[in-house]
Structure 1
Amino acid sequence: MEIKVSVLMSAYNAERFIGSAIESILNQSFTDFECVIVDDGSTDNTFEIIEQYRKNDPRIHIVHNEQNIGLTRSLNIGSSHCKGVYIARLDADDVCHQDRLKEQYDFMESHQDIALCGSMARYVDEHGQKIGEKNLPTDYMHIKKKLLFNNQFVHSSLFMRKHVLDAEGFYHESFKASQDYELVLRIASRYKVENIPKQLVDWRVGENSLSWSSKRQEWDAIRARWWGMTKYRYPKFCGLVHIALRLGWICLPQRLKMKRYAH
């Protein structure tokens, strides 16, 4: 029987938040899914926590890396185990709202020309308290105009047609961070992509979260923009301006960057 959605996660030493992430999937109003979780060589109790959930729900599948190989390679390995028509991403420290999968599945089924969709999000701190909102353009033309300036998708909200990923490739493994940005730039250069105008995920933006993994993320985002100009035919002048602006952003202290996420 065909599985409709594969939820793909990768976790490394995520014992503090992985339970909340998994429960947010298991509590979905949409039930025709599997959840593929890659334990990326965790040295804490992450694997044991995932295993406990797996024992109680056969929709959970674990892929275990003997050693830590990083998010990008882990997600690519996990994707090879996904059997769904769609792949939905979720980071191990983020949370899905209850109707997330239903909303995105229904949207994609009724918009067959869309290859990938995302959603709006709530910013939450390490205690799960709302600290802001992430509102993004929804239609393809506005997204593509802004995409070279900044990623117009929340990684944990991505919902993608698997056959498109099979044809175009998943994450490029030279990107240790900002791998989602390069993927979106590549897919959006060939297919329509859109955002649903609803908050469907909580995006954790504490200083130790996946979203704040170091300046490597910023440098890889700059490289993604360069690829956008040189490989995917995005406007070069705009790209160079945006790269200059991002170089300035890299120089800002982390505490000042965090103010961006406040109300």
Structure 2
Amino acid sequence: MQQVPIPHNMNPTVSVLMCVYNEDDFVDKSIVGILSQSFRDFEFIIVDDASTDTTQDILAKYARQDARIRVVRNERNIGLTRSLNRGIVECRGAYIARLDADDISVTDRLKRQYDFMESHRDVALCGSFAYYISEDGQEVGKKKLPANYKNIKEKLLFNNQLVHSSFFIRKSILDTGGFYNEHFKTSQDYELVLRLASKYRVENIPEYLVGWRVGKNSLSWVNKRQEWDALRARWWGVTKYGYPKFKGLFHICLRLGWLLLPQHFKMKRYEG
């Protein structure tokens, strides 16, 4: 039986934004998690950053089945930050919900975040707690974060206090406050949170609404570029966004020391 495409709302309330590059192992589950949401008034913008595996075929299959999906394909690989910004331009919803191509959303994620933002009109961006999931989809732990703005901002210079795949942000804030900073190839989410939290309220819903896939390749300290970009984001927080200088420099020195430690020592610390 031929499937009939779901009608597409030209003025959706929420735009779900995913960028993907060679994720044919996981993107299927990420897409299904969004299409299974209890909240239905959304469009699904997927930016394919010139994948070379079967990702393009998977995206085309789902786009044929559900008219809410719009696939934007880059002619060449331009990286996550620029792909995110290209996707934001395509978003028509009042809110943008982020999701990485290897992560998943629980069924009520969009509804819970939409209801929260509608009842907290002074919040620009909300995230949530997250499950850690393994490469085979098993829950292997939980990530609990500070929920209220005061506690988030107090800890923000130490580490990002919002999970990128849980971002739910007012589109108007990005239109006025700027998109992702293209000076950052990685840690672009951290820089954005530091920038927004310096002007607006950001909060976490104290519920586990996303599954965050982890593995040795996803650890931030395995990726030297990400470590340096996170360090630079902290520096921008102190020098550009008004965060306390003494506290900021302390955390920068602390993280720099960690960055300079031998790789095998950091891996041993992680593995227990």
1:215 Cα deviation from its structure 2 partner: 1.1
How far apart are the structure 2 equivalents of 1:208 and 1:176?
17
User: How far apart, CA to CA, are the structure 2 residues paired with 1:259 and 1:159?
Assistant: 32
> How far off is 1:64 after superposition?
0.3
CA contact (8 A) 1:205 1:212 kept: no
Matches within 5 A, 1:212-223: 214-223=223-232
1:131 CA displacement: 1.6
Equivalent residue number for residue 151 of structure 1: 160
One-letter amino acid of the counterpart of residue 7, structure 1: V
Q: CA deviation at 1:211?
A: 5.9
Alpha-carbon distance in structure 2 between the residues aligned to 1:180 and 1:101:
19
Structure 2, unaligned runs of 5 or more: 1-9
CA RMSD of aligned residues (A): 1.5
In the other structure, the counterpart of 1:138 is: 147
CA distance in 1, matches of 2:267, 2:18: 28
Structure 2 matches for 1:1-263, cutoff 5 A? 2-209=11-218, 214-250=223-259, 251=261, 252-253=263-264, 255-256=267-268, 258-259=270-271
Relative to structure 2, which stretch is displaced further, 237-246 or 194-203?
237-246
Q: Structure 1 regions of 5+ residues with no counterpart?
A: none
Identity of aligned residues (%): 63
Secondary structure, aligned partner of 2:115:
helix
Question: 8 Å contact 2:187–2:229 — kept in the other structure?
Answer: yes
The count of corresponding residues between Structure 1 and Structure 2 is 260
SS of 1:69's partner is coil
User: Deviations along 1:70-127, whole A, 9 cap, x unmatched?
Assistant: 0000000011000000000000000001100000000000000000000000111111
Instruction: Describe the SS at the equivalent of 1:208.
Output: helix
Distance of aligned partners of 1:187 and 1:227 in 2 relative to their CA distance in 1, 3 Å threshold: same
Q: Output the TM-score relative to the length of structure 2.
A: 0.92
* CA 1:39–1:210: 2 relative to 1, 3 Å: farther
Give distance in 1, aligned partners of 2:243 and 2:221.
Answer: 27
TM-score, normalised to structure 1's length?
0.95
Distance 1:45 1:74 in 2: 19
Q: In the TM superposition, what is the alpha-carbon distance from 1:257 to its structure 2 partner?
A: 5.5
- Over 3 Å counting, the alpha-carbon distance change for 1:20 and 1:121 in structure 2 is same
Could you tell me how far apart the structure 1 residues matched to 2:68 and 2:163 are?
A: 25
3-state SS of 1:104 partner: helix
Contact 1:205–1:211 under 8 Å retained in 2:
no
The letter for the 1-side match of 2:268 is: L
SS in 1 for 2:175: helix
